[in-house]
């Protein structure tokens, strides 16, 4: 019976794959192919709307060895969209295209969204942006001035100052994870900026991603020749630029950041987190969720729901294959600051000593599994998640697999990691308070 | 980390939704690109007055539910600022038969999320959840609509929480402080002049008696609109809604109307000082008609053409071509009873006030030539809006928000589905007429914000600042 049913089902599936007409299904799984020996093409088909998203992802990020030597170039990645006459931007407007530039720890990316009917013209625009050598020098000057203003504005903001202080404490000055430690300053040597951009585009290991109302045959045609030929062999600068983390015994345990006019005290309790590949990472995911990763977390309950000391109390850490920062953050009225600091330490001590309960573990596991539906609403979501993993050299689905492992852990496994990780000797308490 | 971002975004989301109106960034009302009401869409008014909108769509992996209460911060009276937002918090306080965690626990166990926001015109409760968990959401919403537990202990705790939210979101952020002051300075006694988060003094004065009275008056079916979008069976869900909500008693009152913004007497000029970095900021603020006005679509397109895009004509003229400002942008306020469009410029501290306003005025005058308004530019803008509406269709939550916004901002739920047609019908002449009527032919309110302290050396030699700022 099952095999009889399988035939029409297979026919229907094949028909759906081969037909680029509108369908009421969501985004499909990513398909990949080799555009050339240094470039991978990716497609996430979704024919619900006549929309297309394009991603160019370059395998060098702010934590790679390359940007420190060309740091201003990294900060100026989007300047290639700003030609002196504004012609590129005006073309993007005429094509009703969204064009955005980004960089993160492991990649530089260009993202474009447009209607399917405009895609050919948009790809011509993309080629022209990537070949632009006529950068607007005045925009560089304006950017440098506004960067200083933004920096000074940040120095009046407790969250900004806590973040800056934490990076200074936990990272060495030449570690990209510490940056920025001062306002960005972009060099005005246009030839140098464009040469650095050209290098970026030629690093091997690139991805050209499409999502939306396209077929594989169309995207293979569109991706061909979109990027210049890659360098061969790959340069050493593709590697990591990270420096060893500063050990806990080399940083203070308590730091106060004075700021004018604050009517509250802001807390950040920090240490190094675990990299994604660490065997303890899945347990830390569960532990953090229970401690400060949800509305009724241990911290939220102690500081918000019981006593109304704060509006927000949470904990979290950056997900990367490298060591990131683990942060517990909250704020409260000045008069309650000492009470709140004591409560943070008490919650941590109890958490470490007794661990989480089976009820908390099961709720966290249910949450992780159910949450996955939210990540598959649009084709761009699926594509971006896939590219995030691949830009870091991770297998497709690596994050989901890690979450699955987290959901399957036993209570004892999680609590053993909690005892190791939440050692107060590893943490530094930073307080931003009124001068 | 995904889980952490989700949890903190719930906090941030609520704060953001409170702050965004202050920034005037509420933005364009959302719509959809459907040629007509989509198949299966249901809109019904129950006998007790509650409105129900259901949009079944099996392509969504989650179900979005919104309960839209027709009462917002603009309905507060003087001395009660922040009350409606405080009440929003109390709605998470449990019911006669359910613990205060029940609503949240249910969402959490399913991987769902829930939140709420208070705007000037409405209070909205949001639930996004995988389909398996949706049925109980309706029971939970109905329960707290009629059986909410209101006690002194919870009120006192939420007053403390809301006060910390207010301190963090406004008191301790210089930009937020000055934006609030600008809003108050421009709109003075209008109900939109005070942030929905309110004032510390008014929050402290809220009594349990007042809370109970407010609940009895406004949190009733006749002031509520239930919206569900996602993979649901429309007819079956409607039966459930009738059973669960239809039995609730019809009671309560409709909140008093809010005066229109257009024509509101504003002062010609507002001067402010704040602890800001070395830059002077100027606003030219123009009042706009409400989203229900006959020319609202032309006004919306006008604002997009002036503010949106990578080469928006205001910044291109003031900053790029004439080099009269370091930065420039626009702010849009869009509320049920009217809006505002604000041109912004920032200059280094050596520039004086008169020159800054003169330069902005010249740019606005240059915009009056309407070089930015061509058949081609209008067609491109329409394509951009179409793309925005189509992209929205990927997300059940955005579609649910759009249905509520059109119903309560314009009075017509159907406008959530004919947005593309309405935008497509706008002509260059209508956009030009909107520019003339609301910008060219009226005097704006001038808001001037300068740093409290400008160092003497900067005052004397500020003109050299561009050369040495990075020395």
| Residue range B159-197, pLDDT digits in tens | 999 999 999 999 999 989 999 999 999 999 999 999 999
Cis peptide before A180 (omega within 30 of 0): yes
**CA distance linking residue A295 with residue A305, whole number of Å:** 9
Tell me whether residue A319 is exposed, middle or buried, using C-beta atoms within 10 angstroms of its C-beta: 0 to 12, 13 to 18, 19 or more: buried
Dmax (CA) for chain B in angstroms is 74
Q: What is the pLDDT of residue A238?
A: 72
What residue of B is the nearest CA neighbor of A288? B4
Which of A123, A127, A138, A140 lies closest to A193 in space, CA to CA?
Answer: A140
d(CA A292, CA B8): 9
Q: Are B332 and B303 contacting, i.e. CB atoms less than 8 angstroms apart?
A: yes
Q: Is-contact A115 B388, C-beta < 8 A? A: no
- Of the candidates B390, B49, B333, B88, the one whose C-alpha atom is nearest the C-alpha of residue B190 is B333
- B354: closest CA of chain A, how far (Å): 22
Distance CA B176, CA A78 (A): 28
Cβ contact (<8 Å) for B383 and A308? no
For residue A1, being part of any structural domain is answered with no
Contact state of A374 with B466 under an 8 Å Cβ cutoff: no
Note whether A258 contacts B: Cβ–Cβ < 8 A: no
Q: Are residues A40 and A185 in the same domain?
A: yes
> CA of A163: how far to CAs of A159, A168, A312, B157, in Å?
6, 9, 17, 29
What DSSP assignment string belongs to B435-451? Answer: HIIIIITSPPEEEEEEE
B18 beta partners: none
Which one-letter DSSP state was computed for residue A278?
S
The CATH number of whichever domain residue A409 belongs to comes to 3.30.830.10
- A120 contacts chain B (CB < 8 A): no
pLDDT per residue, tens digit, chain A (435 aa), is 334 334 333 333 333 333 333 445 889 999 999 999 999 999 999 999 999 999 999 998 989 887 655 557 676 789 999 998 899 999 999 999 999 999 999 999 999 999 999 999 999 999 999 999 999 999 999 999 999 999 999 999 999 999 999 999 999 998 999 988 988 888 888 888 898 899 899 999 999 999 999 999 999 999 999 999 998 877 776 788 899 999 999 999 999 999 998 999 999 999 999 999 999 999 999 999 999 999 999 999 999 999 999 999 999 999 999 999 999 999 999 999 999 999 999 999 999 999 999 999 999 999 999 999 999 999 999 999 999 999 999 999 999 999 999 999 999 999 999 999 999 999 999 999 998
A169: containing domain: 25-232
B18 — pLDDT class (breaks 50, 70, 90): very low
> What does chain B come to in residues?
471
For residue A243, being part of any structural domain is answered with no
Q: Which of A26, A264, A403 sits opposite B168 (nearest CB)?
A: A264
ipTM of this predicted structure: 0.91
Q: What backbone torsions phi and psi does residue A267 show, to the nearest 5 degrees?
A: -115, 140
CA A72, distance to chain mean position in Å, is 20
pLDDT at B11 over 80: no
Residue of B340, B342, B339 lying closest to B331 (CA atoms): B342
**Quick one: A219 and A252 in the same domain?**
no
Residue after which a domain boundary falls, among A187, A206, A232? A232
Using CB atoms and an 8 Å cut-off, which of residues 408-427 of chain A contact chain B? none
A192/A277 same-domain check: no
Q: Using CA atoms in the order A433, B3, B8, B14, what is the torsion angle rounded to 10 degrees?
A: 180
Range from A17-26, B130-139, B201-210 carrying the lowest mean pLDDT: A17-26
Return the residue in A26, A53, A83, A94 with the most chain B beta carbons within 10 A, the one to mutate for interface testing: A94
Looking at the fold, whether A186 and A292 belong to one and the same domain comes out as no
- Model confidence band, residue B454 (pLDDT cutoffs 50, 70, 90): confident
CB B197 within 8 A of CB B82: yes
What's the confidence (pLDDT) of residue B21?
Answer: 37
Burial B47-85 (b: 16+ CB within 10 A, else e): ebbbbbbbbbbebbbbbbbbbbbbbbbbbbeeebbbbbb
Q: What's the token pair of residue B29?
A: 């009302």
Does residue A377 form part of some domain?
yes
pTM of the model: 0.91
Same domain flag for A386 and A344: yes
For tokens 């308490």, the residue is A429
What backbone torsions phi and psi does residue A137 show, to the nearest 5 degrees?
-65, -35
Contact B175, A152 (CB under 8 A): no
Sequence-ordered list of residues with C-beta below 8 angstroms from that of A396, at least 6 positions apart, any chain: A30, A386, A389, A390
Strand partners, B42: B54
Ramachandran angles phi, psi of A99, nearest 5° = -125, 125
- B49 min Cα distance to partner chain A (Å): 33
Q: Confidence class of residue B469 from pLDDT cuts 50, 70 and 90?
A: very low
Better-scored residue on pLDDT, B333 or B22: B333
Interchain contact, B394 vs A49, CB within 8 Å: yes
User: Is residue A30 located within the same domain as residue A164?
Assistant: yes
What is the distance between the alpha carbons of residues B315 and B363, in angstroms, rounded to a whole number?
Answer: 9
CB-CB contact of B157 with B245 (8 Å): no
Of A261, A310, A314, the CB nearest to B8: A314
Report pLDDT for A136: 92
Among A206, A232, A258, where does a domain finish?
A: A232
- What is the C-alpha to C-alpha distance for residues B468 and B455, in angstroms, rounded to an integer? 15
Nearest to A152 among B278, B323, B380 (CB): B278
- A316 and A416 fall within a common domain: yes
Q: What are phi and psi of B97, to 5 degrees?
A: -115, -5
Q: Is A115's CB within 8 Å of B387's CB?
A: yes
A149 at interface of B, judged by CB pairs closer than 8 A = yes
A10: in domain: no
Tell me the HSE value of A8 on the side-chain side, using a 13 A CA sphere. 4
Q: Do A121 and A32 fall into the same domain? A: yes
Burial class (CB in 10 A: 0-12, 13-18, 19+), A251: middle
Residues 295-354 of A with CB under 8 A from B: 295-297, 304-312, 314-319, 331-333
Q: How confident is the model at residue B105 (pLDDT cuts 50, 70, 90)?
A: very high
Q: Is there a single domain that holds both residue A49 and residue A79?
A: yes
- CA distances to A165, B4, B306, B340 from B330, in Å: 33, 33, 8, 10
* A378 inside 8 A of chain B by CB: yes
**A contact test, residue of B94, B164, B316, B344 with most A CBs within 10 A:** B164
Nearest to B309 among A93, A145, A304 (CB): A93
Query: What's the structural domain count of chain A?
Result: 2
Q: Which helix (H) or strand (E) holds B332?
A: strand B327-335
A235 close to B (CB below 8 A): no
CB distance B221 to B146 below 8 Å: no
pLDDT of residue B471: 27
Residues A75 and A206 reside in one and the same domain: yes
Q: With contact defined as beta carbons under 8 Å apart, do B142 and B104 qualify?
A: no
Q: Which residues of A touch B301 (CB under 8 A)?
A: none
Q: Chain B within 8 Å of A397 (Cβ-Cβ)?
A: no
How many residues are given for chain A?
A: 435
Looking at A197, A232, A267, the residue that finishes a domain is: A232
Would you tell me how many other CB atoms lie within 10 Å of the CB of residue A101? 16
Using DSSP's 3-state secondary structure scheme, residue B285 falls into strand
Q: Which of B3, B5, B376 sits opposite A285 (nearest CB)?
A: B3
Positive or negative: CA dihedral B150, B151, B155, B158: negative
Tokens encoding A219:
């995207």
**Whether residue A185 sits in one domain with residue A304:** no
Structural domains of chain B ordered from first start: 2-245 (3.30.830.10), 269-468 (3.30.830.10)
The pLDDT assigned to B24 comes to: 35
Nearest 10 degrees: Cα torsion A126, A131, A136, A141: 100
Chain A residue with the nearest C-alpha to that of B171: A263
**Min CA distance, B6 vs chain A (Å)?**
8
Residue keyed to tokens 């004439």: B322
Kind and range of the H or E run holding B372: none
Nearest CA in chain A to B113: A371
A172 and A216 co-located in one domain: yes
Strand partners, B123: B69, B118
Chain B contact for A156 (CB, 8 A cutoff): yes
Average pLDDT of span B146-170: 97
Instruction: Give the phi and the psi of residue A173 in degrees, each rounded to 5.
Output: -60, -30
Q: How far out from the chain centre does Cα B387 lie?
A: 21
Is A242 part of any domain?
A: no
């Amino acid at each position: 019976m099952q095999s009889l049913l399988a035939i029409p089902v297979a026919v229907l599936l094949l028909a759906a794959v081969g037909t680029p007409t509108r369908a009421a299904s969501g985004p499909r799984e990513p398909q990949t192919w080799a555009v050339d020996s240094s470039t991978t093409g990716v497609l996430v088909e979704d024919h619900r709307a006549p929309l297309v998203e394009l991603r160019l992802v370059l395998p060098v990020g702010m934590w790679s060895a390359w940007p420190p030597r060309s740091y201003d170039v990294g900060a100026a990645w989007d300047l290639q969209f700003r030609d002196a006459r504004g012609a590129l931007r005006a073309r993007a407007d005429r094509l009703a295209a969204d064009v955005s530039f980004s960089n993160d720890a492991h990649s530089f990316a260009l993202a474009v969204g447009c209607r399917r009917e405009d895609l050919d013209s948009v790809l011509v625009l993309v080629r022209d942006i990537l070949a632009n050598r006529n950068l607007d020098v005045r925009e560089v000057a304006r950017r440098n001035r506004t960067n200083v203003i933004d920096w000074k504005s940040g120095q009046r903001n407790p969250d900004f100052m806590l973040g800056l202080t934490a990076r200074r404490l936990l990272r060495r000055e030449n570690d990209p994870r510490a940056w920025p430690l001062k306002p960005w300053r972009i060099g005005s040597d246009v030839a140098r900026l464009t040469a650095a951009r050209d290098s970026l585009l030629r690093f091997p290991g690139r991805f050209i991603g499409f999502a939306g109302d396209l077929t594989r045959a169309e995207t293979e045609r569109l991706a061909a020749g979109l990027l210049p030929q890659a360098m061969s062999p790959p340069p050493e600068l593709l590697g990591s630029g990270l420096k060893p983390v500063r050990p806990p015994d080399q940083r203070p345990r308590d730091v106060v950041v004075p700021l004018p006019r604050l009517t509250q005290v802001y807390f950040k309790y920090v240490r190094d987190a675990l990299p994604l590949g660490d065997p303890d990472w899945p347990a830390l995911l569960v532990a953090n969720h229970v401690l400060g990763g949800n509305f009724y977390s241990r911290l939220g309950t102690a500081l918000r729901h019981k006593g109304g000391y704060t509006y927000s109390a949470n904990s979290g850490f950056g997900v990367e294959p490298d060591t990131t920062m683990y942060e517990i953050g909250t704020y409260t009225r000045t008069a309650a600051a000492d009470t709140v600091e004591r409560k943070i330490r008490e919650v941590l001590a109890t958490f470490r000593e007794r661990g989480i309960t089976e009820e908390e573990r099961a709720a966290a596991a249910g949450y992780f599994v159910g949450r996955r539906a939210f990540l598959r609403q649009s084709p761009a979501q699926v594509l971006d998640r896939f590219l995030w993993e691949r830009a870091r050299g991770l297998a497709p689905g690596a994050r989901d697999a890690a979450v699955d492992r987290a959901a399957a852990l036993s209570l004892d496994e999680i609590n053993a990691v909690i005892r190791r990780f939440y050692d107060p000797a590893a943490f530094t308490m930073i307080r931003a308070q009124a001068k | 980390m995904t889980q952490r971002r989700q949890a903190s975004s719930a906090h941030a989301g609520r704060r953001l939704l409170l702050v965004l109106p202050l920034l005037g960034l509420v933005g364009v009302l959302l719509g959809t690109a459907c040629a007509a009401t989509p198949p299966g869409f249901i809109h019904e008014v129950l006998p007790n007055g509650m409105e129900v909108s259901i949009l079944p769509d099996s392509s969504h992996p989650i179900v979005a539910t919104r309960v839209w209460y027709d009462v917002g911060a603009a309905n507060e009276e003087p001395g009660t600022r922040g009350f409606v937002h405080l009440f929003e918090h109390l709605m998470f306080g449990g019911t006669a038969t359910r613990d205060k965690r029940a609503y949240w626990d249910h969402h959490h166990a399913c991987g769902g999320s829930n939140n709420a926001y208070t705007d000037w015109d409405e209070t909205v409760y949001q639930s996004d959840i995988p389909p398996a968990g949706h049925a109980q959401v309706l029971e939970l919403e109905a329960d707290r609509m009629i059986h909410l537990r209101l006690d002194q202990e919870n009120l006192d705790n939420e007053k403390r929480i809301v006060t910390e939210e207010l301190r963090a979101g406004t008191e301790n952020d210089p930009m937020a402080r000055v934006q609030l002051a600008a809003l108050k300075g421009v709109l003075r006694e209008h109900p939109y002049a005070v942030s929905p988060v309110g004032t510390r003094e008014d929050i402290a004065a809220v009594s349990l008696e007042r809370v109970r009275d407010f609940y009895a008056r406004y949190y009733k079916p006749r002031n509520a609109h239930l919206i569900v979008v996602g993979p649901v069976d429309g007819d079956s869900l409607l039966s459930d809604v009738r059973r669960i909500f239809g039995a609730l008693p019809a009671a309560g009152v409709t909140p008093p109307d809010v005066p229109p913004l257009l024509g509101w007497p504003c002062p010609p000029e507002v001067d402010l000082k704040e602890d800001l970095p070395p830059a002077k900021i100027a606003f030219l603020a123009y009042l706009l008609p409400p989203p229900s006005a006959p020319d609202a679509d032309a006004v919306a397109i006008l604002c997009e053409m002036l503010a949106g895009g990578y080469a928006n004509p205001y910044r291109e003229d003031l900053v790029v071509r004439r080099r009269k400002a370091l930065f420039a942008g626009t702010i849009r306020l869009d509320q049920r009873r009217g809006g505002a469009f604000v041109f912004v410029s920032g200059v280094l501290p050596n520039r004086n006030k008169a020159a800054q306003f003169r330069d902005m005025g010249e740019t606005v005058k240059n915009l009056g030539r309407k070089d930015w308004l061509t058949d081609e530019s209008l067609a491109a803008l329409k394509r951009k809006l179409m793309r925005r509406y189509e992209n929205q269709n990927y997300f059940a939550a955005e579609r649910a928000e759009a249905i509520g916004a059109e119903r309560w901002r314009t009075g017509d739920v159907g406008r959530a589905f004919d947005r593309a047609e309405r935008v497509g019908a706008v002509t260059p002449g209508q956009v030009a007429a909107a520019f003339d009527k609301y910008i060219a032919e009226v005097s704006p309110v001038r808001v001037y914000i300068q740093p409290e302290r400008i160092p003497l050396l900067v005052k004397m030699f500020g003109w050299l600042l561009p050369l040495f700022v990075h020395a």
